[in-house]
Amino acid sequence: MDWSVESLRATGFHAATDVAGPKWWDELVGEPPAERMSKPREGIHRDTGPLGKGQIVLSISPIRTDWVFSARPDMEAGLPIVGEYSEVSSDLLGVVQRWLGVCVPLTRLAFGAVLLQPVSTKEEAYMRLAHYLQGVQIDPVGSHDFFYQINRPRSSRVGIANLLINRLSKWSAIEIHRLAFDLAGWHQPAAIRAPAGEAVHACRLELDINTSVGYQGNLPAPHLPTLFEELVDFGMEIASEGDTK
């Protein structure tokens, strides 16, 4: 059962607030951003541009940097899917691995993902979730609004002593309707008509795989690329095998 990508994220928490981040896009992405916003006084910078089948956003603040890969705003209506994970993940991962070689010292590192599996009905979505959540009893017919969240930490294996990895997963089923609007005058609200077309259903898995806040000091710079690979591997293990210890 393959997951499709709604979004992928890499996050680094800075050890200091003086970040020379605005150069990162130009050095790592390979082409100028489509949009650039900068507030030097606040230490905020944001670049946006196309990458592969989607778009990538680089957001920098004094305390953290986020690289987010997601669907482009002009995509067709329906599920906000960039593509199959196996096809599109290398676009973001390549940029992040290069960034980890030049980034400022980090105290924490995280990998995040929002993954979808399209299905035909709510009941089918619940049966898929039951496959991944063997320890949870799910009633596909007699229940609604299912949501399950759990963190199963593990020790890192990349050679950083006393480093714990949080493996947070959130499981749910979603239903999307396309709405039709009747636009009125400026002094009247728009009227919502009946949903247009069939509802779209999917299983949704949100992952947040991150180094524990309890780790003391900066993460060793030489280990950052391997550490990020470990975070990604933990996330994909959950996506493949479900809620495992």
The reported pLDDT for the residue numbered 34 is 95
Contact 104, 19 (CB under 8 A): yes
What is the sign of the dihedral through the CA atoms of 221, 211, 228 and 208?
Answer: negative
The reported pLDDT for the residue numbered 60 is 94
The reported pLDDT for the residue numbered 192 is 44
Q: With a cut of 50, list the residues of the chain below it in pLDDT.
A: 181, 190-194
Contact 208, 109 (CB under 8 A): no
The reported pLDDT for the residue numbered 197 is 59
With a threshold of 0.85, does the pTM exceed it? yes
The reported pLDDT for the residue numbered 149 is 98
* Burial call 214-237: b when 16+ CB within 10 Å, e when fewer: ebeeebeeebbbebbbbbbebbbe
